[in-house]
Amino acid sequence: MENKVTALIMAGKRSGVHDPLAQRANVSQKCVVPVRGVPMIERVVREVAACDKIGAIHVVAHDTDEIAVLPTVARLMEEGRLHFREGKFNIVDSVFSGAEGANFPLLITTADNCLVTSDGYGEFIDKAIAAEAGAAAALARKEDVKAADPEGQKKFYEFTDGGYSNCNMYWMGSREALSAAEIMRQGGQFVKFPKRIGQAFGWMNLVRFYLGWGTKEKIFEQVSRRFGFKLVPIVMSKGDFAIDVDNERTFEVTERVLAKREAAAG
């Protein structure tokens, strides 16, 4: 496992809320909802484990019983490669919990990222290392996301070099870079809640962002000064990496994309 990345898979659930997809599937949490017959987290764990650049896997969850019995999860636990970490009440403290005992760098992904492949994780890792990133976020181009899901996402992060969507993949190059996780303390989803950009990145960066003052690299460079280490945008090759299972519509889109992949693979 030496010199390999540790993967954190965020598989928590909202306190006191029974997710509608989980309710429909008669399970207690969204991460075990079947997508084309396979629980979401089982799909994600398979792809993470198949990436030869990833060593240990930490699954951050509140309720582990339904997860631990899944075939790939159980096998990796038996091998000593996969470990559970306690989910906390917010995403930031859950990341800190997931990082306990971990070797750096960390790759952080989510249990509903059903369309990210092992090659996709490898691509992100290679690009983050090549960029010598202290921390990084994966982005997909607007045109690639729309090609994968023409009727879907309407809002994007707009820079002078184009529109981009978040892929829910993050890189922490060192334990010191964990301070970047504080960006997410207000819950992320900056396109839906723009005030959070100001709270996380600084109000001048919010102004620059909305006035289109700079490329994504320029904006990330300015944010890097705020945090004191190199924060890098990583552009991914596939737009479907930006589609996670949030609701009924994205559930259907994800199943459709997976069906196409399966048909293409024969």
For 63-72, what is each residue's pLDDT tens digit? 999 999 999 9
- 68 belongs to a structural domain: yes
- 264 belongs to a structural domain: no
Peptide bond connecting 34 to the previous residue in cis, omega within 30 degrees of 0:
no
- 266 belongs to a structural domain: no
- 234 belongs to a structural domain: yes
How far apart, in Å, are the Cα atoms of 187 and each of 28, 81, 131, 195, 261? 22, 29, 27, 11, 32
| Tens-place pLDDT, residues 10-33 | 998 776 677 899 999 999 999 999
Most confident stretch, 85-94, 115-124, 244-253: 115-124
| Tens-place pLDDT, residues 160-192 | 888 888 898 999 999 888 876 665 554 444 444
Please count the structural domains in the chain.
1
In 3D space, the residue among 119, 115, 173 whose CA is nearest the CA of residue 148 turns out to be: 115
pLDDT confidence of residue 19: 87
- 144 belongs to a structural domain: yes
12 half-sphere exposure, CB direction, 13 A CA radius: 19
76 half-sphere exposure, CB direction, 13 A CA radius: 24
Domain harbouring 165, CATH code: 3.90.550.10
Q: Which residues, other chains included, contact 65 with Cβ-Cβ below 8 Å and sequence gap of 6+?
A: none
- 89 belongs to a structural domain: yes
- 231 belongs to a structural domain: yes
Query: Does the pLDDT of residue 84 top 90, yes or no?
Result: yes
Query: Does the pLDDT of residue 113 top 90, yes or no?
Result: yes
- 265 belongs to a structural domain: no
Q: Which domain holds residue 169?
A: 5-259
pLDDT confidence of residue 103: 94
pTM over 0.75: yes
